[in-house]
Amino acid sequence: MKELRRNYTLFIDESGQFGEEALKTERKSSNDQPSSQICGVLVPGVFEKKKRGADLPHALLSLFPKGGEMHATEITYAERAQLVKKVLQQSKNSGWRLVRLVNNSGIGEGEVIQTYTRMVAEMIVCIYRKLREEEPQERPVINLTYAQVLLGKRIDGRDYYFSRKEISGSMRYQGTPIMIPILEYKEAIARELQIDLRHGLGLDEQEVTKVFGQVNEESARIHPALQLSDLISNCSYKRGRALRNYQSVRQKLLNTLEPYDFELHPLQVQHVAEELANHRALGQAIFLILSHLHTQQLSQIAKVRLSEVLEELIEDLAKEHSKELAIDLQALVDAIDDLVQRERDASEAELMIHAIFDQVLKPLEAELKDLWGNTDLEWFRFKLLNLALINANHSGDIQLARQRVILLQDLRSKVNNRWEELPTVMESQLNIAVNFGDRFLFSEGVEIAEEVCGFYQDFTSLLGAFRGQSLISDHLKIRNHMAALGTTLMLERYLCLEKLSNGEVIDDVLIRSRAIAEQALALSDSKEDKMRLWQQYAHLEGLAGDFKSAWQKLFLGVGGQMNEFDLSQTQSFIERLAQHSDMSIKFPMYHTLRLLLLDLQSRRPSDQINVLYQEISTLFVKRFRKLIDGYIDDYPAHALLRTWAVLNALKGEEAVAVGALRVLDRIVQSQKSSLALWLISLCAQLESAVYLAKHGSKQRVKLILEQGVHSKSEKKQIKNQSTLKMLAKLKSQAQSEERLLNWLESLEKQIETWRKNDLSAETAEIILKLCARYSG
């Protein structure tokens, strides 16, 4: 059958800023700006530029009479709703179609004009394919008339691309509009169509040269078809308010758009991945594809395409020589390490870990079975499992972490035969020790960590024979040894808390822990490492009751330089703490709040302590506003919120304490699998309840225990769970953890006694000691 060529004209207008970045790591949160989109109307035929829309179908002209100027934002919402109803009615009886393409993935080109033209080109391709599906014998030619695109303003020699927050009111009416010249526009679209061709969007080279017809530009205020495009774009915009009070009209509009409603495919990601692969960086290319493949808003077509690219990359990876293979596998491990250790994005890291195990390791294992052997793959699996354990420890998923501990222990004997990889084996032992601490196996955790410290101690002694030959410095520092001592110090601190809660003396643990801290400080060679160690050391001295020494050490832990410090130098302490960045302040702030809490618990508050409390409170509210409002859920935000709530309850600040408990509970409820976070929330509620009861807020305490921390209005939005129900739930989840279960049962027994005895002070102290065992 002879194919027929048929002309269509696409009239389009745009909504959005088109500032999406190319790579996911560079993109802002999707909450920062709505998705950019192109909207319009596809009309059969070709229309002469000089007639300015007078030759359009009568059904369309009747909606927007020739000569009338109109912009959708200049009419009321009610008028827009009425006009949309008329448009939808006419579209049923006419031959024109409403069309839209949205960038839901948030992936762009990193430059406004390129992202905009990329989206226009893809819209043309999507429409072409849709028309071919409807009429296979036709070869559509798509002509384009676009609304003059204002991409920003040029003011005093500087280009402002959609920087609305940056341009002041007086600047809005200055400068020259930045628009794309029609020749540049046409060349850009043609170039993007060629990119579509290279990435296999379904067009062959001959089709690409014929699919795109004439290009014109018109004013969206004057041209009837562009007035219609502007209206549809305004009323269908993801965050648009135009039809917010006319939901049925909006839904009918979306239903009408549906056959020609498209999503932008992440071609730039595919392009970058292929460039990386061409430069033999297969590991980076695979990680890039995986990270975007698991973006929830990608269309099915895009997922299929990226999956095909991933399969090709893994096939190429399997053909590499063993040395190249090891380098590329290490690149994947490094990328996961960055997510787990630096970004602390536990949920994203968990997705990527599963993706690499399922979509890379399994197919690669089959490919390599008879080629290079499994040695490198076993190491790859071990390193990935080690990072997976760290991630589970960070997220507080105790049961998942325990499963990974078992897998690591089973795999260790297969991989501990490489000298250069022994540090990884030792690191995995430290991560196992941390998991033991989370499961209340404090002594066992300390024992494992001390074994690692012993290995590095013996190793250092062995190397001593070479120091006299100038091969090795007399002051050799092994960073992994310092890290092992730091982990041991943390677990020794947990052991102190357990002994104190049982009424045991901690003198022997303190002597050992102080020696560990001094040795770790001697081995540390960076200011950051020293500060973290001083913070832990200060916390330890606080448990020992030596608060003068504790505050001196914490001052060093926040960046102070002097050896002598007392609480009369509060301003100096606050200044040092405030100098930390938003990322680095979390741990010093946590240890400051904990030490302040220990100090207030142990002795009568002095004027100096009260001043420090006020200054710390001011700084906390200033630096952790997003955390207080519930917009942040990251490690160690949960421990910060717990300590902040308890500290304010101790000081009688009921409203602040309850507010912090509510935020913590909302965060924890969103992390359903995290047993550790539930334990943190439980302890926070119980400790706060004890202190609120001491201040006479017994009614509030009963509400927390029996009904939960949330107000009546919040109960409609979030599941309100009482402290007692939370405790019962945690007991059912902890059946496989004997020590943890025993602790929860002891806590439950004391709470029941406390309630029966009208919240007596004696039982309250026992509850505080039990809660202190779980520092989280």
Provide φ and ψ at 113, rounded to 5°: -65, -45
- Could you tell me the pTM of the whole model? 0.70
Question: Do 237 and 165 contact (CB within 8 A), yes or no?
Answer: no
Considering the domain architecture, whether residues 231 and 277 belong to the same structural domain is answered as no
| Structure-token pair, residue 79 | 């008028």
Considering the domain architecture, whether residues 732 and 771 belong to the same structural domain is answered as yes
Considering the domain architecture, whether residues 135 and 162 belong to the same structural domain is answered as no
Please report the sign of the dihedral spanned by the C-alpha atoms of residue 269, residue 271, residue 273, residue 279: negative
184 within a domain of the structure (yes/no): yes
CA 48 to chain CA centroid, nearest Å = 51
| pLDDT of 31 | 44
Q: Which domain holds residue 607?
A: 543-614
| pLDDT of 162 | 41
417 within a domain of the structure (yes/no): no
Considering the domain architecture, whether residues 130 and 186 belong to the same structural domain is answered as yes
Angle between helices 322-337 and 346-356 (to 10 degrees): 160
Domain-terminating residue out of 243, 263, 283: 263
591 within a domain of the structure (yes/no): yes
| pLDDT of 242 | 77
Helix (H), strand (E), coil (C) string for 93-148: HCCCEEEEEECCCCCCCCCHHHHHHHHHHHHHHHHHHHHHHHCCCEEEEEEEEEEC
Counting beta carbons within 10 angstroms of the beta carbon of residue 345, is it exposed (0 to 12), middle (13 to 18) or buried (19 or more)? middle
Considering the domain architecture, whether residues 81 and 211 belong to the same structural domain is answered as yes
| Structure-token pair, residue 280 | 């033999």
Strands 158-160 and 212-218, sheet pairing: unpaired
Please report the sign of the dihedral spanned by the C-alpha atoms of residue 627, residue 631, residue 633, residue 635: negative
Considering the domain architecture, whether residues 10 and 158 belong to the same structural domain is answered as no
Measure the CA–CA gap between 658 and 307, rounded to whole angstroms: 47
In 3D space, the residue among 483, 503, 506, 480 whose CA is nearest the CA of residue 494 turns out to be 506
495 within a domain of the structure (yes/no): no
44 within a domain of the structure (yes/no): yes
Amino acid at 334: D
For the chain, how big is the Rg over CA atoms in Å? Answer: 32
| Structure-token pair, residue 212 | 């795109």
Considering the domain architecture, whether residues 79 and 208 belong to the same structural domain is answered as yes
Considering the domain architecture, whether residues 85 and 159 belong to the same structural domain is answered as no
Question: Do 391 and 349 contact (CB within 8 A), yes or no?
Answer: yes
Considering the domain architecture, whether residues 566 and 670 belong to the same structural domain is answered as no
Q: Which neighbouring-strand residues pair with 100?
A: 39, 261
Q: Helix, strand, coil: what percent of the chain each, to 5?
A: 65, 5, 30
pLDDT along the chain (776 residues), means of 10: 78 80 48 75 84 74 69 80 87 84 74 78 84 86 80 53 44 51 74 59 62 80 85 80 83 88 69 68 82 65 71 82 81 88 83 90 77 73 94 90 95 86 94 94 95 92 72 80 95 93 92 96 91 95 93 92 79 91 87 94 84 93 79 72 95 93 86 82 94 92 88 60 88 91 94 91 92 81
Measure the CA–CA gap between 538 and 558, rounded to whole angstroms: 11
Measure the CA–CA gap between 727 and 748, rounded to whole angstroms: 7
Sheet bearing 176-177, strands edge to edge: 158-160, 153-155, 176-177
- CA geometry: angle at 663 spanning 739 and 682, to 5°? 20
Please write the tens of the pLDDT for every residue from 24-67: 444 444 445 667 889 999 998 888 777 766 777 777 777 776 55
421 within a domain of the structure (yes/no): no
Considering the domain architecture, whether residues 324 and 199 belong to the same structural domain is answered as no
Question: Do 559 and 525 contact (CB within 8 A), yes or no?
Answer: no
Please report the sign of the dihedral spanned by the C-alpha atoms of residue 305, residue 308, residue 314, residue 318: negative
Provide φ and ψ at 565, rounded to 5°: -150, 140
* Helix ranges restricted to H, 279-337: 282-293, 300-318, 322-337
460 within a domain of the structure (yes/no): no
Considering the domain architecture, whether residues 36 and 131 belong to the same structural domain is answered as yes
Number of structural domains the chain divides into? 5
Question: Do 121 and 128 contact (CB within 8 A), yes or no?
Answer: no
Question: Do 234 and 240 contact (CB within 8 A), yes or no?
Answer: yes
433 within a domain of the structure (yes/no): no
Considering the domain architecture, whether residues 588 and 692 belong to the same structural domain is answered as no
| pLDDT of 203 | 57
